[in-house]
Structure 1
Amino acid sequence: MASKFRTVFFLLPFLLFPAATAFNITSILGQFSDFSNLNNLLTQTQLASQINSRQTVTVLVVNNAALSSVSNLRTDVLKKVLALHVVFDYFDRDKITKLSNRSAILTTLFQACGLATGQNGFLNVTDMGNGQIALGSLT
């Protein structure tokens, strides 16, 4: 995975899924057929158990169509990509639109589990002010 990954993600193809209590991410995603590929990949990469062990996370859930571009990556690379979609703390649209300076740096599972070096693994979230929220790599 390139360390200079700077693509900005708009949340239109994503579903923010926050959880504040004990949960099972595979059971939750299993209720939605459009997230079946993500569900399978979280299990395959063993990230599901890491997500389930956290008390407060927001999972940036990607639908099957959007996930197709990365689903054939090697398992170790795929794990890094998916770990970027797990943000520590609770975030929803309301919380993001109330951020001071309309922007914040978010810590992800990628950074926290030792897969990243330096500033890799942090996300910058920005309220674009036009009803859209942008996410991008900090580096």
Structure 2
Amino acid sequence: MAINVTRILTNYPEFGTFSDVINKTGINELTKNRQTITVLAVDNDSMGSISGRAQDELKRILMTHIVLDYHDTLKIQRLGKRSITLTNLYQTTGVAQYGQGFLNMTKMSPGNVVFGSAVQDAPLVAKLLGSVLAQPFNISVLRVSTPIVPPGIGKAVLAPPPPPGLPPPAPSPKKAGVPSPANFKHKSAPAPAPGDKAADSPTSGSWSAGPGIGLAAVIELRMK
């Protein structure tokens, strides 16, 4: 069965811009001879972050959004908390460098899955927002939050900031530790009265009485 991405996305006007670029850049023709793909679709508002770029650059960017394997939300849910590498359509061009033809999909938690370029040190910028369409095991369309621009193809698009008005995250509680010696104030012992002399310890040098024990009591205890 030939896969026609633009025809599939016709029923989803929120991805009209994404579908239009797929069609104009010829990516749609490259997918028709494939039997299994996963499309990481970006909605119209998020596509605005890469609008105005050269058509060749847009083609290379969106080719990285075509994964050459089947992944739907059910399959992703079965993954453990780990990262996997996905091969994308750009890898088939023969010009992909330094991992541009691969994506990193990381499952942070059951409801938090993120994507990014597999190029070293590239950020995970696109969050999985849900499933648009699933036809096992031919085509899956997943909605992601942000276009993925691999380093070396164009200027990166960072993940959008959190909505305004949200309170900043609470600071992490500090672990209780051993107080620093600098936090202690030295308290010197009272000077002995004239004529008094501390008795020598029978075991180890000097011996000092604890609070509330007078010198006479110390001598009495020593004599016993």
- TM class, shorter-length: 0.7 to 0.9
Q: Among 8, 25, 35, which residue is 1:45 paired with?
A: 25
1:127 corresponds to: 107
Deviates more, 1:114-123 or 1:79-88: 114-123
Give 1:61 shift: 0.8
1:5-57 per-residue CA deviation (whole Å, 9 max, x = no partner) reads: xxxxxxxxxxxxxxxx4331111111111111111111111001112221100
Taking every aligned residue pair, what percent have the same amino acid on both sides? 39
Give 1:135 shift: 0.6
RMSD over aligned Cα, in angstroms? Answer: 1.5
Query: SS where residue 38 of structure 2 aligns?
Result: strand
Q: Is the 8 A contact 1:58 1:88 kept in 2?
A: yes
Query: SS where residue 124 of structure 1 aligns?
Result: strand
Compared CA separation, residues 128 and 100, structure 1 to 2 (3 A): closer
Deviates more, 1:124-133 or 1:100-109: 100-109
1:109 corresponds to: 89
Pairs aligned (count): 119
Q: Is the 8 A contact 2:80 2:107 kept in 1?
A: no
1:118 corresponds to: 98
1:61-111 per-residue CA deviation (whole Å, 9 max, x = no partner) reads: 111001111121101111111011000110012212323562210000011
Q: TM-score, normalised by structure 1?
A: 0.78
Q: Distance in 1 between matches of 2:79 and 2:110?
A: 15
Between Structure 1 and Structure 2, the one with more helix by share is 1
Q: TM-score, normalised by structure 2?
A: 0.50
Q: Distance in 2 between matches of 1:96 and 1:81?
A: 23
Q: Distance in 1 between matches of 2:31 and 2:105?
A: 20
Q: Is the 8 A contact 2:77 2:110 kept in 1?
A: no
Residue identity matched to 1:24: N
* Shift >6 Å, 4+ stretches: none
1:79 corresponds to 2:41: no
Residue identity matched to 2:34: R
The structure whose RCO (Cα within 8 Å, separation 6+) is larger is 1
Residue identity matched to 2:60: K
Q: Is the 8 A contact 1:80 1:115 kept in 2?
A: no
